[in-house]
Homo-oligomer: A and B are copies of this chain.
């Protein structure tokens, strides 16, 4: 992935990094995931704004992050607390996002987050910070699911009875994917498969706790932390969806599943970037054909801010 020095000039804006975290990231020990987020702001002493609107108890959340980010070198870490859409439409609140070096969206309930922020001045500032300013945006747990255009609702681990599967509109910083978090820990593969089965245009991305999928638009993706990323690709599956009656189980043939461990990096460029190596083995590897297309989707050029 490119360093700050390689970042294009104002005349060729590139969207920033996304740090999509599966929840429960370490804040006290190695802080691998949060450390990478601070690095990706591109500043030695960045100022961070923490968007806490996904959760009702906002004060407490930010304290833990403030301590961690300060430990990691941040010059400032301030919560942007939003309890209503009026507050989220305050231009001063929006301005705070545009002044920050990095934006971190905490967990909680993604429906609450979007109900407060969706469509407001803060929502537009978030997109502008990412798409025009090239800022690094991180989201954890509910904040991770909210980054994509199609947002999975939180729900109990009840895939068997059909709960926890609804989609809603997220912030739209990623397209053509749907993100689930706490993935291995809450055994959500079945639930994500249900979503992909009914929405085969979307690639399902499941992120383990204390693990982040890092997306650098037009460059590549990277997995950081303790766990893995699960990818479900149903685009070539065949299904009896049109024939099946409501409540019938679906026939799904040929869904592709990939598991990408922490340490893995994949470039979207063809021919594959020879510098890309498994950080674990040190051996250079090319992007496997089945994965290349997924990397291209994740890193696709984003439409400009509007």
Give A186-219 interface residues, CB cut-off 8 Å to B. 187-190, 193, 197, 208
Instruction: Tell me, rounded to whole Å, the shortest Cβ–Cβ distance linking A108 to chain B.
Output: 22
Q: How far is the CB of A297 from chain B (nearest CB, A)?
A: 16
Evaluate contact between B249 and A290: CB separation under 8 angstroms. no
Shortest distance between the CB of A230 and any CB in chain B (Å): 8
Compute how far the CA of A60 lies from the CA of B260 in the bound complex, rounded to whole angstroms.
Answer: 47
| Residue in B160, B251, B259 whose beta carbon sits within 8 Å of that of A184 in the complex | B160
A283 and B243 within 8 A (CB): yes
Q: Is residue A291 within 8 Å, beta carbon to beta carbon, of the partner chain?
A: yes
| Chain B residues closer than 8 Å to A189, beta-carbon distance | 187, 189-190, 193
The reply on A264 being an interface residue by CB < 8 A is: yes
Q: Which residues of B are found within 8 Å of A188, using beta-carbon distances?
A: 187
A290 cross-chain contacts in B, Cβ below 8 A: 253-254
Residue numbers in B under 8 Å from A280 (CB-CB): 240, 243-245, 248
Check B244 against A261 for contact (C-beta < 8 Å): yes
Whether B240 and A251, one on each chain, are in contact in the complex, defined by CB atoms closer than 8 angstroms, is no
Bound Cα distance from A260 to B250, whole angstroms: 7
Which chain B residues lie closer than 8 Å to A281 at the CB level? Answer: 240, 243-244
Q: Are B256 and A251 in contact (CB under 8 A)?
A: no
Option from B185, B253, B259, B262 in Cβ contact (under 8 Å) with A160: B185
Q: Render A27-38 as a binary contact track against B, CB cut-off 8 A, 1 for contact.
A: 000000000000
Q: Is A257 an interface residue (CB 8 A)?
A: yes
What's the least CB distance linking A294 to chain B, in Å? 10
The verdict on A133 contacting chain B, using a C-beta distance below 8 Å, is: no
Task: Give which listed residue, B190, B227, B228, B251, contacts A264 with CB less than 8 A.
Answer: B251
Number of residues from A at the complex interface, CB < 8 A: 43
The CA of A232 and the CA of B253, in the complex, are separated in Å by: 11
A9 within 8 A of B: no
- Verify if A301 is at the interface (C-beta below 8 Å from B): no
Assess A257 versus B193: contact at CB under 8 Å? Given A264-B251, A280-B243, A280-B248.
Answer: yes
Task: Output the least CB separation between A189 and chain B (Å).
Answer: 4
What are 30 A-B contacts with C-beta separation under 8 Å? A159-B184, A160-B208, A184-B190, A187-B187, A187-B190, A189-B189, A189-B190, A232-B257, A240-B261, A240-B278, A240-B281, A243-B283, A244-B261, A248-B261, A248-B280, A249-B262, A250-B259, A251-B259, A251-B260, A251-B264, A252-B258, A253-B259, A253-B288, A253-B291, A254-B258, A255-B257, A255-B258, A255-B259, A256-B256, A257-B257
Q: What 18 new A-B contacts, CB under 8 Å, besides A253-B259, A255-B257?
A: A160-B184, A160-B185, A160-B208, A184-B190, A187-B190, A227-B249, A228-B249, A232-B257, A240-B278, A244-B261, A249-B262, A250-B261, A251-B261, A252-B259, A253-B258, A253-B288, A253-B291, A254-B290
